[in-house]
């Protein structure tokens, strides 16, 4: 999944004026979209055939709906981001389509509690927002000006659930009028925007700290303040909301971006030490998190104690039942996991019914998505865009690792949504926004200098003062 295979964007300075435009590859995207929609419909039909021995009633609606959404998003990209990475949208559509298939399949086990219709609505909202972002946000650098409002809004969203009652041990939900939101999901994007803007502005100062080592010369509070604040917020979220996953995610993204911005391994080491210290302290002190760690170390302890298999044990059983090729969609027994089988544990259904082969394919899809983000980051020629792309690519990467590793016993389980796959409106919508932003940045990265009207517009958005001018790529000879 390394992004090194990316086609190097044209270097306009070296190119003579009669510029052969780089391929936009919108046709490729359309072809891949058709494939993604067809695969999803096939999955839907397979579930119907395997469980009811008949075509599911809503197959036509579902297929047409998904195709219409894909077409809408494709048109938005074609018109407004013609140079966007052609892999992004098809992967998102395929993942979302597969997610709908999985939730539809799991709904069959819980006839009284259908989640697929709501998920379809949320997916529509997500694609709508994707379209809106692609159409309305002409240049991602506009976001740089809203760095601090973004941070404020993110903090507000993260603190809000503390006022609401805990659900299943974690205070991450807001319930209003029958709808529930996970504001932390939206906060992820906002905070990533803030990180990117803040680090793009202060990377020299922070890099100097790294240079100076720890000689006692403290950087100005304006620079160091946000770093401390982020660490405090991470710990605060962890302790007050008992949400280890989100806390780890924020912290991880911040450390990664800090490293990318400054190039100082010292920051990485400090970040890892702080994270390890915090996690160890919380794992020992906080009973909820401590229980998760115990479960991870002894997933079958419940069976030996006569309490029956716990959720993690059931999840492992599901993966084991899948074996190499899986039982086939609709023919597994992942409903045995019970609670959260459509959200946190949705991957277990993939593992059981599609097997190691299907699971690998799914991981590769995520890897491609993340790879697209890194490719955009490498292609863009200014630090904010690069950092934003890295952050937005790292979000799903860390998320997939934390939840997939959690449900498969690789790391302690923390509640987190599998991007696009898991039930949960906030998550789906957020992921569509992430993909939209990546599409925007990749369009910017791949577009030839001066192509289209966007060049003119960017001229009206001067970069904020403390951000350095777009640097020339420091080592063009190092590019493949």
Q: Is 471 exposed, middle or buried (0-12, 13-18, 19+ CB in 10 A)?
A: exposed
Decide if residue 323 touches other proteins (CB under 8 A): yes
- Between the alpha carbon of residue 34 and those of residues 25, 39, 63, 91, 408, the distances in Å are 15, 9, 11, 11, 32
Nearest CA to 365 out of 420, 321, 319 is that of 420
Decide if residue 186 touches other proteins (CB under 8 A): no
Decide if residue 421 touches other proteins (CB under 8 A): no
Decide if residue 336 touches other proteins (CB under 8 A): yes
Decide if residue 377 touches other proteins (CB under 8 A): yes
Region 51-70 residues binding other proteins, contact defined as CB under 8 A = none
Nearer to other proteins, 226 or 371 (CB): 371
Decide if residue 1 touches other proteins (CB under 8 A): yes
Q: What is the DSSP string of 141-189?
A: GGGGGGHHHHHHHHHHHHHGGGGSPPBTTB---EEETTEEE-HHHHHHH
Candidates 32-40, 97-105, 214-222, 355-363: pick the segment binding other proteins (CB under 8 A). Answer: 355-363
Check residue 328 and give left, alpha or beta (phi > 0: left; psi -120 to 50: alpha).
Answer: left
Nearest CA to 230 out of 257, 195, 199, 264 is that of 195
Structure token digits, residue 395: 């979000």
Decide if residue 112 touches other proteins (CB under 8 A): no
Nearer to other proteins, 250 or 317 (CB): 317
CA–CA gap between residue 56 and residue 54 (Å, rounded): 6
Nearer to other proteins, 151 or 407 (CB): 407
CA–CA gap between residue 19 and residue 72 (Å, rounded): 30
Of 65, 82, 169, 405, the residue at the interface with other proteins (CB under 8 A) is: 405
Decide if residue 36 touches other proteins (CB under 8 A): no
> Beta strands of 11-94 (E only): which ranges?
none
Decide if residue 397 touches other proteins (CB under 8 A): yes
Of 115, 238, 289, 404, the residue at the interface with other proteins (CB under 8 A) is: 404
> What is the binding site for other proteins (CB under 8 A)?
1-4, 256, 259-261, 263, 300, 303, 308-309, 313, 316-317, 319-325, 327-328, 331, 333, 336, 351, 355-356, 359-360, 363, 366-367, 370-371, 374, 377-378, 383, 386, 390, 393-394, 397-398, 400-401, 404-405, 408-410, 473-475, 478-479
């Amino acid at each position: 999944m390394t992004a090194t295979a990316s086609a190097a964007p044209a270097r306009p300075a070296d190119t003579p004026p009669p510029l052969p435009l780089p391929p936009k590859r919108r046709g490729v995207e359309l072809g891949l979209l058709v494939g993604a929609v067809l695969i999803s419909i096939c999955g839907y039909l397979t579930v119907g055939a395997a469980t009811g021995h008949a075509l599911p009633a809503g197959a036509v609606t579902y297929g047409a709906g998904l195709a219409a959404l894909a077409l809408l998003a494709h048109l938005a990209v074609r018109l407004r981001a013609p140079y966007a990475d052609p892999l992004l949208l098809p992967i998102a559509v395929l993942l979302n389509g597969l997610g709908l298939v999985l939730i539809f399949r799991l709904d069959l086990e819980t006839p009284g509690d259908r989640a697929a219709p709501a998920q379809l609505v949320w997916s529509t909202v997500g694609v709508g927002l994707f379209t809106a972002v692609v159409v309305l946000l002409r240049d991602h650098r506009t976001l740089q000006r809203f760095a601090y409002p973004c941070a404020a809004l993110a903090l507000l969203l993260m603190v809000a659930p503390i006022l609401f009652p805990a659900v299943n041990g974690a205070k991450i939900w807001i319930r209003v009028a029958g709808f529930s939101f996970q504001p932390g999901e939206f906060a992820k994007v906002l905070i990533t925007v803030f990180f990117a803007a803040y680090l793009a502005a202060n990377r020299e100062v922070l890099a100097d700290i790294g240079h100076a080592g720890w000689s006692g010369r403290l950087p100005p509070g304006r620079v160091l303040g946000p770093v401390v604040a982020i660490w405090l917020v991470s710990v605060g979220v962890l302790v007050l909301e008992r949400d280890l996953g989100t806390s780890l995610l924020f912290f991880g993204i911040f450390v990664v971006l800090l490293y990318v911005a400054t190039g100082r391994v010292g920051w990485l080491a400090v970040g890892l030490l702080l994270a390890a210290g915090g996690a160890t302290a919380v794992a020992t002190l906080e009973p909820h998190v401590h229980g998760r760690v115990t479960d991870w170390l002894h997933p079958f302890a419940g069976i030996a104690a006569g309490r029956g298999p716990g959720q993690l044990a059931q999840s492992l059983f599901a993966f084991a039942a899948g074996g190499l090729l899986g039982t086939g969609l609709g023919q597994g027994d992942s409903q045995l996991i019970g609670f959260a089988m459509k959200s946190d544990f949705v991957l277990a259904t993939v593992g059981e019914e599609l097997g190691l082969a299907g699971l690998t394919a799914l991981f590769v899809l995520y890897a491609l998505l993340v790879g697209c983000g890194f490719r955009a980051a490498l292609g863009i020629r200014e630090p904010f865009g690069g950092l934003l792309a890295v952050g937005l690519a790292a979000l799903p990467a860390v998320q997939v690792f934390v939840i997939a590793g959690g449900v498969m016993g690789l790391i302690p389980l923390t509640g987190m949504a599998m991007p696009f796959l898991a039930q949960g409106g906030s998550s789906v919508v957020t992921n569509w926004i992430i993909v939209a932003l990546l599409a925007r940045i990749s369009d910017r990265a791949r577009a030839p200098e001066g192509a289209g009207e966007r060049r003119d517009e960017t001229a009206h958005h001067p970069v904020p003062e403390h951000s350095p001018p777009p640097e020339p790529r420091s080592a063009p000879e190092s590019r493949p």
